Structure 1
Amino acid sequence: MAHTMRCDNGFQGPSRRSFIAGTGSILGAVALGGLSPAARAATSTTISDAAVVPALVIGTGYAGCVTALRLAQAGVDVHMIEMGMAWDTPGADGKIFANTTTPDQRSFWLRTRTKQPLSNFLGFPIDKDIPRYTGILDAEEFSGITVYQGRGVGGGSLVNGGMAVTPRREFFGEVLPTVNPDEMYNVYYPRANAELGVTMIDPAWFDTAECYQYARVGCKHAQRSGFPFVYVPNVYDWNYMRQEAAGTVPKSALAGEILYGNNYGKKSLQKTYLPKIRATGRVTISPLHRVTSVVPASGGYTVTMEQLDTAGTTIATKAVTAARVFFAAGSVGTSKLLVKLKSTGALPNLNGEVGKGWGDNGNVMCGRANHMWDPTGSLQSSIPTAGIDNWAAGGAFAEVAPLPTGIETYASFYLSITRTPSRAEFSWNAAAGRVDLSWQTAWKQTSITAAKSIFDKINAKEGTIYRTDLFGVYKIWGDHLTYHPLGGAVLNKATDNYGRLHGYPGLYVMDGALIPGTTTVNPFVTITALAERNIEKIIATDL
């Protein structure tokens, strides 16, 4: 492909100058050796039984971090509860996170066998046995769907590809119909992008970098079939990646690190919101704690939680009192907890919308087999930077994803986000003592049809076929999963228009559970921006 080809820049990130200005202090702290002693102390502080706290935040992902930072800056002492580990201690290999190609016990949450999104390669199953451990990626299985979620301080930011996409404004009404788009696009999306360190890859470097040959092939094929191909903003440190390519620093994205954490270059919440949170001196974090109950009490709410060891065994049970409780455990975690609390009588006055409106962001995966004269490269950056935008015409946005196997695959791989009307509901299964989800695999057909609007056309133009060796035997579509769970406690339905839970003053939902099933793009920037909007209002009016 000629180096002069340009992909359209369809998604706007901040300028390089504002990005550097906004993250210089963060990168400086990282360069100086990571966490200060005080910050490390904050990480390891666990909450004591019978503690009394002004604000308790359940979860340390995007929404939880926004909530804790803004509360602390407003003078409120906060305790954050995290089910996963702190991920601040290197393993036997000297690295904190496991590599994608060689998963070990660090890779999966309390599994004895990996459950990778691509289960097969060249016809062979690739999952392997691992020791049971509180690893970083949870493949939570419901009827009809596996939901991938990050486990650890930093939540989903630890395990995603960093694609930091703001939805096109004309589609925002599909995402959050009761939210004023002016305030989101003028105030909260810019704030989220600045805090997350979002920036755009240099197109000239993209055009020449060996590690993005796979994306350039995807660009060429898309444009030859008439599809807009766009650069997508990301939270990776591009200067670090250039050094990786030059061989002057330890490799991270160019070592295939993505599914189970990224050791060096990605600006997860560990490098953005969390250092600012610790710097306030008002926030403590308890990793390996799982909230099991929230009930009204004198002075607010009694929150019961289990402390876990790294085998997932409960080693202590604690009950603390919190004046205010912020649910930020992710779409699934928050929804499951609220449905259980309503159904078992702990919070019986939650309304009938709790548990409803859950969707998969239309996620579906596929691979295409390219011709021998169209190699995608044996070195592939695990950080995707480009996509095919057919949302307006076909209801699909396709991320050109890497297959960082270390060998030439002659394959193009895609994660599509599609327009889908299907919404599932969480419900309490009293007999089994668990929360179920009413998802049906057949609902993915809408997503497949939308994705086919892109890939059938490309295959016809290029004379290529779908890969059938990635998701099982002769299976073309990865229709069994989602990386983007959304909904379950929908804004202005289960809550008011700022996340306050109806019936219980002092209880709030802050996370992706508020978003009714779709963001039209990768969701974490929208989750962050919505949390910034909501907590600003809550601090101004409730505290």
Structure 2
Amino acid sequence: MRDHPPVSNAVSRRGFIAGTGSILGMAALAGPAAAQARRVAAAPPIANGAHVPALVIGTGYGGSVAALRLAQAGVDVHMIEMGMAWDTPGSDGKIFCNTREPDYRSYWLRTRTKAPLNYFLGFPIDRDIPRYTGILDAEDFSGITVYQGRGVGGGSLVNGGMAVTPKRENFASVLPSVNADEMYATYYPRANAGLGVGTIDPAWFDSTACYQYSRVGRKHAQRSGFPFVFVPDVYDWDYMKQEAAGTVTKSALAGEILYGNNHGKKSLQRTYLAQARATGRVTISALHQVTSVAPAGGGRYTVVIDQLNTTGDTTTTKTVTADRVFFAAGSVGTSKLLVKLRATGALPALNGEVGKGWGDNGNVMCGRANHLWDPTGSLQSTIPCSGIDNWAAGGAFAEVAPLPTGIETWASFYLSITNNTHRAQFSWNASTGKVDLNWQLAWKQPSIDMAKTIFDKINAKEGTIYRTDLFGIYKIWGDHLTYHPLGGAVLNKATDNYGRLAGYPGLYVIDGALIPGNTTVNPFVTITALAERNIEKIIATDL
């Protein structure tokens, strides 16, 4: 990375907006832009002693937005990513492994898989794997396992791509200090455009075999009086149609989702990060982990970074300086790092709100056993496209999820987002040198009760029962996990109303840690839109 002086104040709000407006569409990289992206992608990792104008910790939604917009405003950016780059195929010729056949690529530094759905027909299905810096982290805390993406692109690598904008009437409960009119007029549209959000063709949905499971979900929801909704997604729907027709390599129709998707999914690697790299101003160091950030004098910060190998060992430690640091390591990663830095004296002036307000987005999972006349299909797209909305009446929104076993199961499977108000706190444990989270398993009971407002009624109407063989032996509810960690450095509490960390000019939080525990829907569009809002303000006023 070249050395650069501090950024000039000459970057104007008007210039920034003009620079962003032309790239909001989802044009694919081509020609010189693609060549530039490849050159930048091949750049060496950050060097010991380097100075960077802007250092972004993490390459997920918030970090990718920050990097792109800073680069467009003329700022050189270096991104630090703990996971791998995921740009080199394995011996099978594929970058990512299949959900049904997890291998060394599947889990972050585990020797045994830990699938969210880890039983089938009452038998455990987890298996031994080599320890490797795989793509999915199942991070265990007291009372909960938090699933997170590891790699360039963060959570976009491993989620189902459900790109949901919260209902306008629910927004005040999500981000009470944020102007909703601005979000819905400007920042949600900007995020949806940048992410490449689209919705399934309803006519194709009604005819294709791979969404029979969703059509069964629709029938049962509507027969019980629940609104059934199509949910936008970031999958390339034209590609999926070609998968179904047999004219392209199958991905969503080949069981790929939990451990990455080799083709049709528009992860951040293909959207925000591709555009950021194409500017020539963004460099990424994969398999690097920030361990410390501290004031360096002159308004800069000293950042200590461990470089890792693929078994998780530190091979070298680097110290760099940055004019500005953006914390974008995800709700858990950002919160853990900030709590550690405050407790150990690196950033002692961080306020008492750091570490608070963490929630699981009310996640709980369940399955239902259908009658023989309601088969859900042996071929199932791994990309969910529909949901059951009972938020207003029962506090639950249920994603009609796939169960892509490759065989007929006569099972309907659901991930619910519920209005669970329990919030946990991260704290530093000096005896272990680690950060703890005080979540309690009993706090999932409100989520179960809210999900039951949907599924008890459907079961009663259909004469069906809950599956008891998917999360253990005679266990109905997947209440041990979350896919949607949120909070820990809440906006307008741990930070100001744009993510500036109190007490430290030039330090920012710009990821899901800002959102206090619940978004009422799948969260990544809100994380992206909030990042768009915040970085626009930061560029216009701080630079």
TM-score (norm 1): 0.94
In structure 2, the partner of 1:205 is 204
How far apart, CA to CA, are the structure 1 residues paired with 2:512 and 2:130? 31
CA contact (8 A) 1:359 1:518 kept: yes
Report how far residue 274 of structure 1 moved: 1.2
In structure 1, the partner of 2:226 is 227
Secondary structure, in 3 states, of the residue corresponding to 1:153? Answer: coil
CA contact (8 A) 1:43 1:284 kept: no
In structure 2, the partner of 1:8 is none
* 1:79-478 aligned within 5 A: 79-299=78-298, 300-478=300-478
Report how far residue 298 of structure 1 moved: 2.2
CA deviation vs aligned residue, 1:364-423 (integer Å, no higher than 9, x gap) = 000000001100000000000000000000000000000000000000000000001100
How far apart, CA to CA, are the structure 1 residues paired with 2:32 and 2:444? 45
Q: Which amino acid aligns with 1:422?
A: H
How far apart, CA to CA, are the structure 2 residues paired with 1:196 and 1:209? 25
CA contact (8 A) 1:295 1:347 kept: yes
Structure-2 change in CA distance of 1:451 and 1:34 (3 Å):
farther
Secondary structure, in 3 states, of the residue corresponding to 1:25? Answer: coil
Secondary structure, in 3 states, of the residue corresponding to 1:493? Answer: coil
In structure 2, the partner of 1:9 is none
Q: Which amino acid aligns with 1:98?
A: C
CA contact (8 A) 2:26 2:195 kept: no
Secondary structure, in 3 states, of the residue corresponding to 2:218? Answer: helix
* 1:29-48 aligned within 5 A: 29=30, 36=35, 38-48=37-47
CA deviation vs aligned residue, 1:33-54 (integer Å, no higher than 9, x gap) = 9953752543552000010011
Secondary structure, in 3 states, of the residue corresponding to 1:451? Answer: helix
Report how far residue 243 of structure 1 moved: 0.5
CA contact (8 A) 1:360 1:517 kept: yes
How far apart, CA to CA, are the structure 2 residues paired with 1:136 and 1:37? 26
**CA RMSD in angstroms, aligned pairs only:** 1.3
How far apart, CA to CA, are the structure 2 residues paired with 1:110 and 1:60? 19
In structure 2, the partner of 1:25 is 27
Report how far residue 25 of structure 1 moved: 2.3
How far apart, CA to CA, are the structure 2 residues paired with 1:377 and 1:164? 25
Q: Which amino acid aligns with 1:446?
A: P
How far apart, CA to CA, are the structure 2 residues paired with 1:39 and 1:485? 32
How far apart, CA to CA, are the structure 1 residues paired with 2:186 and 2:517? 23
Q: Which amino acid aligns with 2:95?
A: I
CA contact (8 A) 2:41 2:277 kept: yes
How far apart, CA to CA, are the structure 1 residues paired with 2:474 and 2:457? 21
CA deviation vs aligned residue, 1:163-191 (integer Å, no higher than 9, x gap) = 00000000001100000000000000000
CA contact (8 A) 1:357 1:423 kept: yes
CA contact (8 A) 1:44 1:287 kept: no
Q: Which amino acid aligns with 2:86?
A: W
In structure 2, the partner of 1:15 is none
* 1:49-88 aligned within 5 A: 49-88=48-87
In structure 1, the partner of 2:538 is 538
In structure 2, the partner of 1:488 is 488
TM-score (norm 2): 0.94
Structure-2 change in CA distance of 1:276 and 1:405 (3 Å):
same
Number of residues of Structure 1 aligned to a counterpart in Structure 2: 520
Secondary structure, in 3 states, of the residue corresponding to 2:27? Answer: helix
Structure-2 change in CA distance of 1:155 and 1:394 (3 Å):
same
Secondary structure, in 3 states, of the residue corresponding to 1:36? Answer: helix
How far apart, CA to CA, are the structure 2 residues paired with 1:88 and 1:487? 30
CA deviation vs aligned residue, 1:404-456 (integer Å, no higher than 9, x gap) = 00000000000000001100000000000000000000000000000000000
Give aligned-pair identity as a percent.
80
Q: Which amino acid aligns with 1:280?
A: T
Q: Which amino acid aligns with 2:525?
A: V
Structure-2 change in CA distance of 1:409 and 1:34 (3 Å):
farther
Structure-2 change in CA distance of 1:33 and 1:506 (3 Å):
closer
CA contact (8 A) 1:22 1:197 kept: no
In structure 2, the partner of 1:518 is 518
Q: Which amino acid aligns with 1:443?
A: W
CA deviation vs aligned residue, 1:129-168 (integer Å, no higher than 9, x gap) = 0000000000000000000000000000000000000000
How far apart, CA to CA, are the structure 2 residues paired with 1:38 and 1:391? 43
In structure 2, the partner of 1:3 is none
CA contact (8 A) 1:137 1:148 kept: yes
How far apart, CA to CA, are the structure 2 residues paired with 1:394 and 1:43? 51
Report how far residue 108 of structure 1 moved: 0.2
How far apart, CA to CA, are the structure 1 residues paired with 2:480 and 2:212? 28
How far apart, CA to CA, are the structure 2 residues paired with 1:517 and 1:294? 25
Structure-2 change in CA distance of 1:303 and 1:248 (3 Å):
same
Structure-2 change in CA distance of 1:507 and 1:33 (3 Å):
closer
CA contact (8 A) 2:37 2:274 kept: no
CA contact (8 A) 1:354 1:494 kept: yes
Report how far residue 486 of structure 1 moved: 0.1
Q: Which amino acid aligns with 2:314?
A: T
Report how far residue 246 of structure 1 moved: 0.4
Runs (4+) of structure 1 exceeding 4 A deviation are 21-24, 32-35
* 1:491-506 aligned within 5 A: 491-506=491-506
Report how far residue 520 of structure 1 moved: 0.1
CA deviation vs aligned residue, 1:59-104 (integer Å, no higher than 9, x gap) = 0000000000000000001000000000000001100001000000
In structure 1, the partner of 2:9 is none
Q: Which amino acid aligns with 1:255?
A: A
Secondary structure, in 3 states, of the residue corresponding to 1:417? Answer: strand
How far apart, CA to CA, are the structure 1 residues paired with 2:161 and 2:72? 26
How far apart, CA to CA, are the structure 2 residues paired with 1:143 and 1:377? 37
Q: Where does structure 1 lack aligned partners over 5 or more consecutive residues?
A: 1-20
Q: Which amino acid aligns with 1:118?
A: L
CA deviation vs aligned residue, 1:501-528 (integer Å, no higher than 9, x gap) = 0000000000000000000000000000
CA deviation vs aligned residue, 1:270-326 (integer Å, no higher than 9, x gap) = 110111101110111000000000000024100001000001010000000001000
CA contact (8 A) 2:24 2:190 kept: no
Structure-2 change in CA distance of 1:34 and 1:230 (3 Å):
farther
